[in-house]
């Protein structure tokens, strides 16, 4: 199915619905519930209960549970893809671009934490999930190409395979969803610094 | 509840049971099923079906589904705790000990992949799960102490909080369960090298 865009959905003509929620708010509450109890285990009735709406009122906002999932996954993926299209990811040396991509990915993860959390739990159980996994793979390939470019330029060590290095670095980045909570003592710029410090420069003093 | 030990369970006097499976094999198959469909979603009837046993034959091996979970989580945790008690983790400089612990953790993760996978999915839904999370936290605290010792000794950069550094490094290590499959092109020694290379020495060339 085609990727849906949350922003264009939000700027579409308003649909009938109960006052009190716009589409973005319904999506936010749905994603929180999916993360709490699992997407597959969440019914439209559960979601209506959480929102205090009838099922038919909820269907005024969205066509299906799967549409909510598609919008939520697009929110995460379009954020990550956007990082690769930013000027900082396209200018400078390969190592500088990799540095920028890592910082950008941490920023997206912090800014869109519930959406990225949902994305990371997707296992490919439906066409929507498989399409999201395909976009994740395409993102990974673009990052791997950057790692390999930095290796070819002698800026990044070449004794680790590019795809393995990419998986290790994003393993570190993605693990943030397990413990990072916005509003705590570590802000996203600090966190981006720490990730780059560990992954690119290493913990050991030079 | 007290931690159970798989080895002592295996060396206990044999219990009645169907020929064809010993306790360790039942545990292995149970863990694979828990990882496939989730522990909470797996019934004793599901497990009996997978094993081709009746429920009562399965109860000759184990008292409860929760006992299987406790044994499985102990398999993962005792492996990780064992790494901290190895000579290589107790000798040499703090940075050398941290290096040894990281390599050991990767080795345990590869050797006991299904058990560690199960451990990483535990969310604290029962006393058994909460006890496992408590042991994970204690392990993390011991690693953090090692990181902070290496920082105090000037061997590891001190511009990152010890607990954050520990989370980032183990985020990387734990992410291996998402993609690493034994028997593939990357063996566990190679993987341990790559993790240490990224986390301790950094990707950027010096």
Question: What CATH number does residue B130 fall under?
Answer: 1.10.357.10
B155 domain-assigned: yes
Mean pLDDT of B165-190: 91
Q: Residue A205 is nearest to which of B154, B169, B205, comparing CB atoms?
A: B154
Helix (H), strand (E) counts: chain B? 11, 0
Q: Quick one: pLDDT at residue A19?
A: 52
Measured between beta carbons, the chain B residues lying within 8 angstroms of A197 are 157, 159-160
Tell me the residue range of the domain where A162 lies. 72-201
Give dist(CA B118, CA B38) in Å, integer: 9
Q: Do A174 and B175 touch (CB under 8 A)?
A: yes
Q: Has residue B14 got a pLDDT over 80?
A: no
Nearest to A115 by CA among A27, A191, A48, A40: A27
Interior/surface letters A123-150, b for 16+ CB within 10 angstroms, e for the rest: eeebebbebbeebbeebeebbbebbbbb
User: What average pLDDT is seen over chain A?
Assistant: 89
Per-residue confidence at A156, pLDDT binned at 50, 70, 90?
very high
Measured between beta carbons, the chain B residues lying within 8 angstroms of A206 are 206
Are residues A191 and A111 part of one domain? yes
CA–CA min distance A157, chain B (Å): 5
Are residues A143 and A77 part of one domain? yes
Q: Has residue B205 got a pLDDT over 70?
A: yes
B1 domain-assigned: no
Q: Which of B44, B67, B90 delimits the end of a domain?
A: B67
Strand partners, B204: A156
Q: Quick one: pLDDT at residue B20?
A: 74
Q: Quick one: pLDDT at residue A203?
A: 87
CA–CA min distance A159, chain B (Å): 8
Are residues A19 and A54 part of one domain? yes
Determine the 3-state secondary structure of A74 from DSSP.
helix
Task: Record the tokens describing residue B160, joined without a space.
Answer: 């990152």
Q: Do A157 and B203 touch (CB under 8 A)?
A: yes
Q: CA of B156: how far to CAs of B93, B150, B161, B202, in Å?
A: 11, 5, 11, 12
Residue A185 or A28, more confident = A28
User: Which of B140, B202, B206 is the best mutation test for A, with the most CBs of A within 10 A?
Assistant: B202
A206 domain-assigned: no
Are residues A155 and A61 part of one domain? no
A83 domain-assigned: yes
The backbone torsions φ and ψ at residue B204, rounded to the nearest 5 degrees and listed phi first, read: -70, 140
Are residues B177 and B130 part of one domain? yes
Task: Record the tokens describing residue A171, joined without a space.
Answer: 């393993």
Q: Which of A44, A67, A90 delimits the end of a domain?
A: A67
Helix (H), strand (E) counts: chain A? 11, 0
Residue B47: give its domain's CATH number: 1.10.10.60
Q: Has residue B4 got a pLDDT over 90?
A: no
Give dist(CA B205, CA A7) in Å, integer: 41
Q: Has residue A78 got a pLDDT over 50?
A: yes
Give dist(CA A164, CA B97) in Å, integer: 24
Q: Quick one: pLDDT at residue A118?
A: 98
B162 domain-assigned: yes
Reported as a single tens digit per residue, the pLDDT across B64-117 is 999 999 999 999 999 999 999 999 999 999 999 999 999 999 999 999 999 999
Are residues A76 and A39 part of one domain? no
Name A106's Cβ contacts closer than 8 Å, sequence gap at least 6: A173, A176, A188, A191, A192, A195
User: What average pLDDT is seen over chain B?
Assistant: 89
Q: Quick one: pLDDT at residue A12?
A: 47
Size of interface A-B (CB pairs under 8 A): 124
B13 domain-assigned: yes
Q: Quick one: pLDDT at residue A9?
A: 44
Most confident of A53-57, A155-159, B71-75: B71-75
Are residues A79 and A51 part of one domain? no
Per-residue confidence at B183, pLDDT binned at 50, 70, 90?
confident
Task: Record the tokens describing residue B64, joined without a space.
Answer: 């409860």
The backbone torsions φ and ψ at residue A86, rounded to the nearest 5 degrees and listed phi first, read: -70, 150
Q: Has residue A51 got a pLDDT over 70?
A: yes
User: Which of A154, A186, A203 is the best mutation test for B, with the most CBs of B within 10 A?
Assistant: A203
Q: Which of B51, B67, B83 delimits the end of a domain?
A: B67
Mean pLDDT of B10-29: 69
Q: Quick one: pLDDT at residue B2?
A: 40
Q: Residue B195 is nearest to which of A157, A168, A170, comparing CB atoms?
A: A168
Most confident of A4-8, A60-64, B127-131: B127-131
Q: Do B204 and A200 touch (CB under 8 A)?
A: yes
A1 domain-assigned: no
B206 domain-assigned: no
Q: Do B202 and A205 touch (CB under 8 A)?
A: no
Q: Quick one: pLDDT at residue B159?
A: 92
Query: How much of chain B, in percent, has pLDDT values that exceed 70?
Result: 91
Give the count of domains, chain A. Answer: 2
Q: Quick one: pLDDT at residue B184?
A: 82
Helices (H), A122-200: 127-152, 162-174, 176-179, 188-196
Q: Are A72 and A118 in contact (CB under 8 A)?
A: yes
Are residues B142 and B101 part of one domain? yes
Give dist(CA B94, CA B191) in Å, integer: 22
Q: Are A127 and A143 in contact (CB under 8 A)?
A: no
CA nearest A122 in B: which residue?
B178
Q: Quick one: pLDDT at residue B135?
A: 98
Q: Has residue B203 got a pLDDT over 80?
A: yes
Reported as a single tens digit per residue, the pLDDT across A11-21 is 444 444 445 78
Residues of A with CB under 8 A from a CB of B: 95, 98, 147, 150, 154-157, 159-161, 164-165, 167-176, 178-179, 186, 191, 194-195, 197-206
Q: Are A164 and B117 in contact (CB under 8 A)?
A: no
Q: Do A172 and B168 touch (CB under 8 A)?
A: yes
Are residues B92 and B62 part of one domain? no
ipTM: 0.84
Q: Are A167 and B171 in contact (CB under 8 A)?
A: no
Q: Quick one: pLDDT at residue A81?
A: 98
Are residues A34 and A77 part of one domain? no
Are residues A34 and A11 part of one domain? yes
Rg (CA), chain A: 19
Q: Residue A202 is nearest to which of B173, B186, B201, comparing CB atoms?
A: B201
Q: Quick one: pLDDT at residue A21?
A: 85
Give dist(CA B206, CA A202) in Å, integer: 10
Q: Has residue B169 got a pLDDT over 50?
A: yes
Q: Has residue A84 got a pLDDT over 60?
A: yes
The backbone torsions φ and ψ at residue A156, rounded to the nearest 5 degrees and listed phi first, read: -130, 140
Are residues B165 and B114 part of one domain? yes
């Amino acid at each position: 199915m085609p990727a849906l865009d949350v922003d264009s959905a939000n700027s579409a003509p308003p649909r009938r619905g109960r006052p009190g929620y716009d589409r973005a708010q319904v999506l936010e509450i749905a994603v929180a519930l999916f993360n709490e109890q699992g997407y597959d285990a969440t019914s439209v009735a559960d979601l209506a209960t959480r929102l205090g709406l009838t099922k038919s009122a909820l269907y005024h906002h969205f066509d299906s549970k799967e549409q909510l999932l598609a919008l939520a996954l697009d929110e995460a993926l379009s954020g990550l893809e956007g990082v690769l299209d930013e000027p900082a990811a396209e200018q400078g040396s390969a190592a500088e671009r990799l540095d920028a991509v890592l910082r950008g990915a941490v920023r997206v993860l912090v800014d869109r934490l519930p959406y990225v959390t949902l994305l990371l739990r997707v296992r490919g159980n439906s066409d929507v999930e498989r399409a999201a996994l395909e976009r994740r793979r395409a993102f990974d390939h673009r990052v791997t190409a950057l790692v390999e470019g930095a290796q070819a330029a002698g800026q990044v060590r070449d004794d680790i395979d590019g795809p393995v290095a990419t998986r290790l670095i994003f393993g570190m980045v993605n693990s943030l969803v397990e413990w990072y909570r916005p509003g705590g003592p570590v802000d996203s710029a600090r966190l981006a610094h720490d990730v780059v410090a560990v992954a690119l420069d290493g913990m050991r003093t030079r």
